[in-house]
Each structure stands twice: as structure tokens, then as C-alpha cells.
Amino acid sequence: MRNRKGIFGVLFISPAFLFIFSFMIYPLVYSFYISLNKFNFVYDTNPQFNGIGNYIKAFQDPAVLVAMKNTFTFGIWYFVLIMLLSLAIALLLFHIKRGNEVLRTIIFMPIVVPLSLSALVFMWILQENYGLLNFILRDVLKLSFLAKPWLNNGTTAMGSLIGVGLWATVGFETILFLGGIQSISKEVLEAAEIDGASGIKRIVSIILPNLRETYVLTGLWAILHGLKVFVEPMVMTNGGPGNSTLVMYQEIYFTAFSNFDMGYASAMAYILGAITMVFALINFYLNRSKDHA
């Protein structure tokens, strides 16, 4: 009977194991192997081992360094703004009683729209000559000095991409924060109010310290989206103007599917994965340290 149960257990988990092995474990292992080789899959018949040559090349490549800088710029600004904005909206929704469900639906709605579609819509809104934003600034509000080539200027292009990323994802982060706030015991909140901790004092002294587990989840999600950004710059600017919005995922994509250099692209992908993991571990460590304190 024990052997039979073991056989049935193996049979039941084998489809899931085969799926995970085929589409996760094997590609990870093989891509790491390829990253240690020179391999152009169009012209080369076999990979040529060159050790960590691709990794050294990546840290000496001006295009990769620019992409890395842009990725950090997007990721840091996105992380800070999405955390602050979503937490503020969640606190607002928590304290608003009338029309709360309607507000939640409105705020969460952008996450339902595919990010690529949102990017296309904002391309039209931010277009310099016939875009909706400049039309409102120039013709409706008569503030022509505020109208800009939002996606054709290196300074404003990155800010525009960050804004689109915030608009598209703030609803999801807000729901996570709101769930964390609502999980705080009502007895704790009522006791704090009896003790005179109300309004801002209750938020600072009671609510924010009790969201440490939520910070881990929302912070991890924000780090992943910020450092693995791809859709916004790919659809809206294609990395331009110049290389001002070129990010790591784009550089990896162009290297792999335009230059067909799979070895070099795999090395860059592992560098990006390592950077993302480091920031994720820092996020875990900081929140764990607060718990221990």
C-alpha cells in the first residue's frame, strides 16, 4: 500500500515537475551555459567557450552601461514614488467610508488594461504636435510654456515613462497596502484611539509599524517591475531619443534577436537577474531587521 501510494504520488506530481523542468529549470541552466560561450545562433553551429568573457565585455560596453544607468534611474524613481503614492491612496481609501467601493474600482481599473495598450494610448496623449496633453496646455489652459516634446526630449522622456508605469500599476500596489491596513486588528486601532492616538498620530504610531510584512511584498513587487521594465520604453520611445531611455531588458532583447548574439545576451540577463536579486534581498533584510528590533 505504501509503495502504491508513492507511485500514485509521483504520477500526480510528474506533470507539474515536467512543466517546471522544461520551462524553468532547463532554460535557466542552459542560458547560464550559453552565457559562458560565444554563440551567434544564426552563424555558429556550436557554442565556443570563452569563460566569463561575456560578463567582462558587458561591464566595458558603453551601451550596456547606459542601459544599466537608465534602468537604475527608472527603478529607483519608480520604487520610491509607487510606494509613497500607493500607501497614501490606501490610507485615504481606508478612512473614506462613503463611495469607497467606487473609488477602489476606479483606482484598480488601469491594472486590468494590458500595459502595451496603455503605452500606446499614452503615446498619443504625450505626442508633441497633436497629443491631448499639449492640446489642453496650449489651447484650453493657455499655458503654452508648459507644452513640451514629452517623448522626444531626453529629460522628459524618462519622466513620462515613469508616469505611465505609475498610472498602470498604482492600483495593484494600493490594493496590497489596503489589505495590509485592513488586516490590523480593530481592537488595536480602537485602543489607540481611546489612548488619544487619532488622525496622523494613529497612522504614524500604529498603522505604519504594523505594515512590515506588507512592505516586503509591495517592495519586492516594485523592485521587480522597476528593474525589469521593458514594455513602456519599448513601445513608447524604443530606447530614444538617443539612448536616454534604453534599459537593460531592451539591450538584452536587441542583442539576442537583432544581433543574434545569444551568449552575450544571456550574460547580460544574468547580470540583471543578479542585480534584481540583490535589491530583493536588501528589501527582505531591512524589513527583517525592523522585526528583530
Average pLDDT over residues 188-211: 77
How far apart are alpha carbons 240 and 158 in whole angstroms? 10
The three-state (H, E, C) secondary structure of 135-203, written as one string: HHHHHHCCCHHHCCCCCCCHHHHHHHHHHHHHHHHHHHHHHHHHHHHHCCCHHHHHHHHHCCCCCHHHH
Assess whether pLDDT exceeds 70 at residue 27.
yes
What string of DSSP letters covers 102-133?
HHHHHHHGGGGS-HHHHHHHHHHHT-TTT-HH
Give the range among 2-11, 43-52, 162-171 with minimum mean pLDDT.
2-11
Judge contact between 81 and 162, C-beta under 8 A.
yes
- Among 167, 137, 175, which Cα is nearest to 232's? 167
| pLDDT higher than threshold 80 for residue 191 | no
Position 40 confidence tier, pLDDT thresholds 50, 70, 90: confident
pLDDT digits (tens, 9 = 90+) for 115-166: 899 999 999 999 988 889 999 998 889 888 888 889 998 889 999 999 999 9
8 Å CB contact between 117 and 127: no
Q: Specify burial of residue 266 (Cβ count, 10 A radius: 0-12, 13-18, 19+).
A: buried
Per-residue pLDDT, 256: 92
- 201-214 burial, b if ≥16 CB within 10 A, otherwise e? ebbeebbeebbeeb
Supply the mean pLDDT for the chain.
88
What's the confidence (pLDDT) of residue 65? 95
What is the Cα–Cα distance from 89 to 110, expressed in whole angstroms?
Answer: 15
At residue 80 the predicted structure's pLDDT band, cuts being 50, 70 and 90, is: very high
Task: Assess contact for 137 and 201: CB atoms under 8 A.
Answer: no
Per CATH, the homologous superfamily of domain 66-242+268-292 is MetI-like (1.10.3720.10)
What is the structure's pLDDT at 293? 46
Closest CA to 245 of 260, 232, 262: 232
pTM: 0.88
